[in-house]
Amino acid sequence: MAGKFYGVGVGPGDPELMTLKAKRILDQADIICTPKSKAGKDSIALSIVKEVVSTEGKIKDLVFPMTHDQERLDKFWNEAVDEIQAELESGQNVAFITLGDPLLYSTYIYVLERLQNRPMEVEIETVPGINSFSACAAAMNQPLAEKNETLSIIPAAYDYDDLEEILATFDNTVLMKVARNFDEVVAKLEKLEMKESSFYASKCGRSEELLTRDLDSLLGDELDYLSLVIAKQRGEE
Q: Which of 37, 83, 92, 76 is nearest to 60 (CA)?
A: 83
Taking all residues of the chain, what is their mean pLDDT, rounded to a whole number? 92
3-state secondary structure of 59: strand
Q: Which of 87, 88, 18 is nearest to 53 (CA)?
A: 18
pLDDT value of position 114 = 95
What is the band of 40 on the pLDDT scale with cuts at 50, 70, 90? low
Let me know if residue 237 belongs to a domain.
no
pLDDT value of position 237 = 47
Do 137 and 215 reside in the same domain of the chain?
Answer: yes
Do 111 and 136 reside in the same domain of the chain?
Answer: no
Q: Tell me the pTM.
A: 0.91
Whether residue 6 contacts residue 126, with contact meaning beta carbons closer than 8 Å, is answered with: yes
pLDDT value of position 69 = 80
Do 167 and 182 reside in the same domain of the chain?
Answer: yes
Q: What angle do CA 213, 168, 140 make, to 5 degrees?
A: 25
List Cβ neighbours of 88 (8 Å cut-off, separation of 6 or more).
2, 3, 4, 5, 94, 120, 122
Let me know if residue 16 belongs to a domain.
yes
Measured distance CA(70)–CA(159) in Å, rounded = 17
**Alpha-carbon Rg for the chain in angstroms:** 19
71 membership: H or E segment, kind and range: helix 70-89
Look at residues 127, 146, 177 and tell me which one is the last residue of a structural domain: 127
Do 143 and 123 reside in the same domain of the chain?
Answer: no
3-state secondary structure of 127: strand
pLDDT reading at 153 higher than 90: yes
Number of domains in the chain: 2
Task: Write phi, then psi, for 212 (nearest 5 degrees).
Answer: -155, 150
Do 9 and 123 reside in the same domain of the chain?
Answer: yes
Q: Specify the CATH number for the domain of residue 207.
A: 3.30.950.10
pLDDT tens digit string along 3-12?
999 999 999 9
Do 87 and 145 reside in the same domain of the chain?
Answer: no
Per the model's pLDDT, the better-predicted residue between 37 and 107 turns out to be 107
Q: Give the least confident one: 40-49, 104-113, 147-156, 223-232.
A: 40-49
pLDDT reading at 236 higher than 50: no
pLDDT value of position 66 = 75
Residue 203 falls in which region: left (phi positive, over 0), alpha (psi -120 to 50) or beta: left
Do 145 and 204 reside in the same domain of the chain?
Answer: yes
Per the model's pLDDT, the better-predicted residue between 72 and 158 turns out to be 72
What is the band of 216 on the pLDDT scale with cuts at 50, 70, 90? very high
Whether residue 194 contacts residue 172, with contact meaning beta carbons closer than 8 Å, is answered with: no
Whether residue 97 contacts residue 32, with contact meaning beta carbons closer than 8 Å, is answered with: yes
Q: Which of 180, 186, 194 is nearest to 216 (CA)?
A: 186
Instruction: Give me the sheet containing 5-9, strands edge to edge.
Output: 59-63, 31-36, 94-98, 5-9, 124-127
Do 16 and 110 reside in the same domain of the chain?
Answer: yes
228 membership: H or E segment, kind and range: strand 227-232
**Mean pLDDT, rounded, for 6-26:** 97
Task: Write phi, then psi, for 150 (nearest 5 degrees).
Answer: -100, 160
pLDDT tens digit string along 196-206?
999 999 999 89
**Mean pLDDT, rounded, for 165-186:** 94
The range of the structural domain enclosing residue 85 comes to 5-127
Per the model's pLDDT, the better-predicted residue between 70 and 170 turns out to be 170
Do 79 and 104 reside in the same domain of the chain?
Answer: yes
